Amino acid sequence: MKERIYLDYAATTPLDERVFAAMQPYFSEKFGNPSSIHTWGQEADDAVESARETIEKLMIAEKFTTFFTSGGTESDNLAVRGAAHAAMKNRNARHLLISPIEHPAVAKTAISLIDEGFQVEWLPVDDFGMVDPTDVEKRIRTDTALVSVIYGNNEIGTINPIEEIGKVCTERGVFFHTDGVQAAAHLNMDFSKNFIGGFSAGAHKFYGPKGVGIFLVSDRSMLEHVQTGGGQEFGMRAGTHNVPGIVGLARAYEITCMDMDQNNKHTSILRDEIFEGVIQSIPDVQITGHPTQRLSNHASFVFGKVNGNVLLMMLDAGGFACSSGSACKSGNPKPSDVLIAIGLDERNALGSLRVTLGRNTTEDEVQRFIAFLPDAVKRARKVYAE
């Protein structure tokens, strides 16, 4: 059997064994519903509250409220829809200021609000996909309901100046949300400086389980619930808690914080080898995203005269799992909105490749990838020319 090499850690990560061990009792003997009065319920409730404390302590977010959700997507929905509805109700604000490099969980939620009478204004970004805080400042209006800017971009790896953007918003009393789903795995969070209104993350991007996420909010009055039902999560997120998932999320985040510096060092060395190897051995290629202000594990490119999906299939056939970076799979290939936003033309944007590394990635795997890629690109270009 051919060995397969996983280089798609921005899509998802494997569950850490220690996380799995922490979760297991909550599938079996500690199966209670946290909302129940009896001892089973109390046991489950204790686990949920302890997980909440762990997150708030590690993110230095004691003044925040943490909600457990079903993942990054739900957290982004709750942030954008929930804060937009609250701003409309509280002060008739309907202007949404959104970066053009958001994950669809934010972008499509914002667009869906247009039908409800909201107006979406897209912020400018530079060629690296970075938002300038002064551009945010210039565009904030008295009727701005919220600003949303992604922390670390999933497609191009760029890290935005979130603290500066957040300060601008907070000074103007505007709710500031950041999608931290990628950033949470690589950057220390410290929300004690009060620059953030809302923060989203999901466990499966940092070696936790799929289907569980967090949303932190600094001021609950700036948020309306989105899901209706029971009174769980301070009435903000109805539905019985995913107790094993929540326990796993907290444990995974603990381990992430503990090993963060070491992992960042490990992956950034390997990432830079990929950048160098690719630039040296392949003509007509361009790095996408910021050269230095980027996620430590993230390398992304566009190749001229390549169909990205063809390249991905050739890599897969060679045993390498990578991504084009955008949510779009096969079928009718549409260029990624993020790559268009950073100024690529449609043809070039279709030749994208994202290589994302993890704790388990080895030097040998990276070297084998660098050795394999040039021929795969050559063959993809041949197909493109036909």
Positions in the binding site for ligand PLP (CB under 6 A): 71-73, 76, 103, 105, 150, 154, 179, 181-182, 202, 204-205, 213
- The residue assigned the tokens 């009727």 is 143
In this complex, which beta carbon is closest to ligand PLP, that of residue 108 or of residue 305?
Answer: 108
- The residue assigned the tokens 């897969």 is 316
CB 197 within 8 A of CB 169: yes
CB 194 within 8 A of CB 218: yes
CB 247 within 8 A of CB 23: yes
Residue, CB closest to ligand PLP: 72
Note if 328 is an active site residue: yes
In this complex, which beta carbon is closest to ligand PLP, that of residue 322 or of residue 370?
Answer: 322
* Exposure on the CB side of residue 163, measured as CA atoms within 13 A: 7
| Helix H or strand E segment including 338 | helix 337-341
Token duo for residue 200: 């989203």
Token duo for residue 252: 């995974």
d(CA 30, CA 40): 7
User: Closest approach of Cβ 12 to ligand PLP, in Å?
Assistant: 7
In this complex, which beta carbon is closest to ligand PLP, that of residue 213 or of residue 335?
Answer: 213
- Dihedral over Cα of 260, 261, 266, 271: its sign: positive
Q: Give whole-number Cα distances, 66 to 53, 60, 73, in Å.
A: 9, 12, 16
Q: Which of 104, 147, 87, 144 is nearest to 123 (CA)?
A: 147
User: Taking the chain, what is the end-to-end CA distance rounded to the nearest angstrom?
Assistant: 32
In this complex, which beta carbon is closest to ligand PLP, that of residue 251 or of residue 381?
Answer: 251
In this complex, which beta carbon is closest to ligand PLP, that of residue 71 or of residue 198?
Answer: 71
Active site residues: 328
